[in-house]
Chains A and B, each alone.
Chain A
Amino acid sequence: MPTTLIERRISWAGVLIAGGLVIQLLTLLWTHPLAFVAFLLLGCPLVVFGILLFLYALVSHEPSGSSPAGPG
């Protein structure tokens, strides 16, 4: 189970991305305007939010034991 903040964020990012990809998978099985709309309005945003959350988790992570760099 994820215990640290970064792991929880990565976990959520994975859930969002996987959800978006499952929706995309379903839309690929159906040639219909509604499938296109579902892909565009549900699948894509979920994946994009997931990727952004993953990147945010990486850049906002401060490794434990790190100290701010300073002169000397």
Chain B
Amino acid sequence: MSRVVIVEIAFVAAAALLAFLVAFRAELTRVRGGKVLAFVALFILPLLAVWGGFSEHMERAQSTRFCLSCHVMEDYGRSLYIDDPSYVPARHFQNNFVPRDRACYTCHTDYTMFGGVKSKMRGVRHIWVYYLGKVPKPEDIKLYHPYNNRECFHCHLGARRYEEASEHHKQPDMLAKAASGELSCMSSNCHDIVHDVGTLKDATFWKESR
């Protein structure tokens, strides 16, 4: 548990104790000091606590651990350890091309103005389906939309390694077509091996596999 979370928990606990105090000793508010105490305990501190809690939960919702805490996602977590560089997520994860503690979110959020909000809404829907709906098999889970090049370009666009890769010059206008979205990074037979959780039983895994 990080120091920030410990401070946050202590703050929320103190705010709750003060609120309890005012709740059970409401006659304190008959004097000026009690009125100030009630205002702090029942308005200022709860607002700050909720804001802090919301911010912390939003942060946690981006963590790999959070995404993989649902049973149906376990195979997707394992696929990050496949010992085969042609698997795009595994290659990104194992080489730290994405931060490991937020690997899912880094690739599966939309890099648009409200992309983060949309991701959270999708997450809430996933929770709903997981607990109250019909959960699909891991291999039946599909993206809502074809993977957008924009998400790849968030990191790769302008990178020397991307621009100078010989595979990206097989056709003279390949980079331009990819930038315009005419050519998909994922579904143009280029980087089309992603999680493929249906094949995990035959796969070998990197040393950190668990």
**Which residues of A are at the interface with B, using a C-beta cutoff of 8 A?**
1-3, 6-8, 10-15, 17-18, 20-22, 24-25, 27-29, 31-37, 39-40, 43-44, 47-48, 50-51, 54-55
Contact = CB atoms under 8 A, between A and B. Distances in A.
Contacts of B66: 31-33, 36
Contacts of A2: 26-27
A49 to B, nearest CB: 11
B95 to A, nearest CB: 26
B5 A28 contact: yes
A54 B19 CA distance: 11
Interface string B2-31: 000100110011011101111110110100
Nearest to B60: A31
Given A27-B53, A33-B61, 18 more contacts: A10-B26, A13-B42, A14-B26, A17-B16, A18-B16, A21-B16, A22-B16, A28-B9, A31-B63, A31-B66, A31-B69, A34-B131, A36-B57, A36-B66, A37-B127, A43-B50, A50-B42, A51-B47
Interface of B: 5, 8-9, 12-13, 15-17, 19-24, 26-27, 29, 38, 41-43, 46-47, 49-50, 53-54, 56-57, 60-61, 63, 65-66, 69-70, 123-124, 126-127, 130-131
Interface SS majority for chain B: helix
Contacts of B61: 33, 36
A1 B30 CA distance: 12
A25 B181 CA distance: 46
Contact of A47 (B49, B56, B124, B127): B49
Given A10-B29, A14-B24, A44-B50, A33 B70 contact: yes
B8 A54 contact: no
Given A33-B70, A47-B46, A50-B42, A21 B27 contact: no
A26 B9 CA distance: 9
Contacts of B19: 14-15, 17-18, 21, 50
A1 B41 CA distance: 18
A13 B19 CA distance: 8
Contacts of A39: 53-54, 57
